[in-house]
């Protein structure tokens, strides 16, 4: 009974071999990376959302796209919607001034503007998804790393029991149960990673959908100087709003 009471995580660490310690170190590193990504990307998500809402409020209450361009020139770009708007305004002005001077500028002004908007959308999507692959990998592999540690521990525990010649339940259950600690650690690492990945993926998908809708209306403003009437019900009108005019 005295030996059984001494079993636990401390006893497991004291008697773990090199393989078990390496696997435990890998799980600890996975946990640190996943929590770092979850916290940092979560904070970035909140900041990005607030800045985006602030810019959208300013954009829809602006008197013209010239006012928007001046605001971006003075305060810079700090979120996806402003980034998209700044590149779109620059693309339209550049094509109007220089025309199709290069191969990348070939086509009409609207075609060049469409390509620019698509390029910016791809850049923002790539930026939003940065780090999510690592989270998904940790969530998928951490349980198997822990399971491998458990299998390794059970194997050595059974070999030691066989060499001792004692098959009593208390002699078998203690070491085998101790080996299951690695599986528990693997699950503890994987669960936050999977939950964080799902949360960030959904937040990115919502933001991307809003950005796509904004890009469509922005293209309409720059191409025709007015928003599509069909898109008006999706955004409640605000007091003081006026129709934007395109920058020539």
Dump pLDDT digits (tens) for 128-166: 888 899 999 999 999 999 999 888 888 777 777 777 666
Q: Is the CB of residue 83 less than 8 Å from the CB of residue 59? A: no
Residue 188 clears pLDDT 80, i.e. is over it: yes
The verdict on residue 99 lying in a domain is no
Q: Quick check: pTM over 0.85?
A: no
Give how many domains the chain has, as a whole number. 1
CA–CA distance, 233 with 239 (Å, rounded to integer): 15
Question: Domain of 22?
Answer: 2-80+125-216
The verdict on residue 51 lying in a domain is yes
CA–CA distance, 8 with 24 (Å, rounded to integer): 15
The verdict on residue 233 lying in a domain is no
Buried/exposed 44-61: b ≥16 CB within 10 Å, e otherwise: ebeebeebbeebbebbbe
The verdict on residue 107 lying in a domain is no
What confidence tier does 28 reach under pLDDT thresholds 50, 70, 90? very high
Dump pLDDT digits (tens) for 196-240: 999 999 999 999 999 999 998 888 888 775 444 334 444 444 444
């Amino acid at each position: 009974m005295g030996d059984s009471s001494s079993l636990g995580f401390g006893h497991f660490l004291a008697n773990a071999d090199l393989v078990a310690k390496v696997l435990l170190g890998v799980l600890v590193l996975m946990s640190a990376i996943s929590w770092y990504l979850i916290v940092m990307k979560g904070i970035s998500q909140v900041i990005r959302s607030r800045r985006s809402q602030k810019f959208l409020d300013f954009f829809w209450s602006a008197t013209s796209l010239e006012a928007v361009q001046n605001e971006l020139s003075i305060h810079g770009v700090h979120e996806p919607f402003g980034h998209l708007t700044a590149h779109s305004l620059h693309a339209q002005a550049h094509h109007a001034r220089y025309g199709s001077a290069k191969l990348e500028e070939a086509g009409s002004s609207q075609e060049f503007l469409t390509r620019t908007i698509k390029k910016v959308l791809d850049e923002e999507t790539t930026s939003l998804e940065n780090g999510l692959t690592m989270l998904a990998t940790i969530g998928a592999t951490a349980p198997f790393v822990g399971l491998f540690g458990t299998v390794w521990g059970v194997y050595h525990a059974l070999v030691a029991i066989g060499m001792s010649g004692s098959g009593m339940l208390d002699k078998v259950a203690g070491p085998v149960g101790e080996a299951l600690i690695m599986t528990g650690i693997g699950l503890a690492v994987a669960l936050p990673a999977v939950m964080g990945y799902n949360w960030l993926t959904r937040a990115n998908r919502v933001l991307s959908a809003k950005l796509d809708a904004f890009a469509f209306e922005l293209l309409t403003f720059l191409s025709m100087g007015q928003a599509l009437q069909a898109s008006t019900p999706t955004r409640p009108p605000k007091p003081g709003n006026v129709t934007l005019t395109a920058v020539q």
